[in-house]
Amino acid sequence: MGRRFALVAVSLAAIFATGCGSSGSSKTGQLRFMQASPSAPHVDLLIDNTTQASNLAYGNTTGYLTVKVGNRRLDAVPVNSTSAILDLSVPITENGNTTVLLTGSTGSIKSLTLTDGGTTSTTGDGYVRVLNASVSMGAADVYIVAAGSGITGVTPVATGLVLNQSAGYHLTPAGNYEVLMTSPGTSSVLLDSGPINLASGENWTFIALDGAGGGFSFSLLKDQ
């Protein structure tokens, strides 16, 4: 069995400005950022050259920031530096919800942009999306099952999920569920979330990460 860790994503309500950007449009969407690179330094988050959150460490995430529609410039800048380690344009749509992750390792920084939510479940169900952001895990098969039920005879919801790949949203019964990630084609567990509660109609993103003390951990983000 792989070691199990729980890394709680810290939600930082730091200088969240409404309507970031210089566009004259009054239409807005939501943007969230996560520092998911284990070897990257603490960073400040800038949107359209305005600081929106400061000193984000590994595993930290902002809440959703209200930003104007259009292509927004996002910069992740190491604390006490002026040189961004991530600089990209993020398209924001009206009433849309977007998450950007800083991933990879020093010298090979990557980013991943995700469209959040937009799913409509039947009564008694929710949606769960699994993302592999672990630098050291490698490829993994993904299972989403009722907590404690195990994976014997169960078909994975995704196979060979590698760094910066998402399994997409999967309809999941409300209640206690469990995410397991295994070595491809085997029952060798790399990461076991343990029981997680999902309420009816909720959308969650499960992010596999490298554990601070070795092994693997995860962060669980509630999506709008």
CB 40 within 8 A of CB 109: yes
Say if 120 falls within a structural domain: no
- At 1 the pLDDT is 46
What tokens were used for 32? 């969230």
Q: Is it the case that residue 121 has pLDDT exceeding 80?
A: no
Residue 42: which pLDDT band, with cuts at 50, 70 and 90? very high
Q: Is the dihedral of CA 150, 151, 156, 158 positive or negative?
A: positive
* Domains held by the chain: number: 2
Residue 219: which pLDDT band, with cuts at 50, 70 and 90? very high
- At 24 the pLDDT is 55
pLDDT tens across 55-79, in order?
999 999 999 999 999 999 999 999 9
Burial environment of residue 203 by CB neighbours within 10 A (0 to 12, 13 to 18, 19 or more)? buried
Place of tokens 């993020």: 90
Residues 6+ apart with CB under 8 A from 202: 126, 127, 174, 222
CB 2 within 8 A of CB 189: yes
Residue 20: which pLDDT band, with cuts at 50, 70 and 90? low
pLDDT tens across 141-157, in order?
999 999 999 999 999 99
Say if 5 falls within a structural domain: no
Q: Is it the case that residue 131 has pLDDT exceeding 60?
A: yes
Place of tokens 């910069």: 75
Residues spanned by the domain of 72:
11-115
* The last residue of a domain, from among 63, 96, 115: 115
CA gap 81, 40 in Å, rounded: 13
Domain match, 105 and 19 both: yes
Domain match, 204 and 143 both: yes
CA gap 195, 11 in Å, rounded: 22
pLDDT tens across 77-90, in order?
999 999 999 999 99
CA gap 220, 196 in Å, rounded: 9
* The last residue of a domain, from among 115, 135, 165: 115
Instruction: Calculate what percentage of the chain has a pLDDT beyond 90.
Output: 83
Say if 147 falls within a structural domain: yes
The DSSP symbol for 20 reads B
What would the mean pLDDT of 93-102 be, rounded to a whole number? Answer: 97
Domain match, 134 and 111 both: no
Worst-scoring range by mean pLDDT, 114-123, 184-193, 207-216?
114-123
* The last residue of a domain, from among 65, 96, 115: 115
Q: Is it the case that residue 180 has pLDDT exceeding 80?
A: yes
Domain match, 38 and 103 both: yes
CA gap 83, 186 in Å, rounded: 43
pLDDT tens across 2-15, in order?
444 443 444 444 33
- At 123 the pLDDT is 79
Domain match, 129 and 204 both: yes
Say if 93 falls within a structural domain: yes
What is the pTM (predicted TM-score) of this model? Answer: 0.88
CA gap 144, 200 in Å, rounded: 16
Domain match, 108 and 136 both: no
Say if 73 falls within a structural domain: yes
Residue 112: which pLDDT band, with cuts at 50, 70 and 90? very high
Residues 6+ apart with CB under 8 A from 179: 128, 130, 142, 143, 144, 191, 192, 193, 196, 206, 218
Domain match, 68 and 138 both: no
Domain match, 61 and 146 both: no
What CATH number is associated with residue 90? 2.60.40
Say if 46 falls within a structural domain: yes
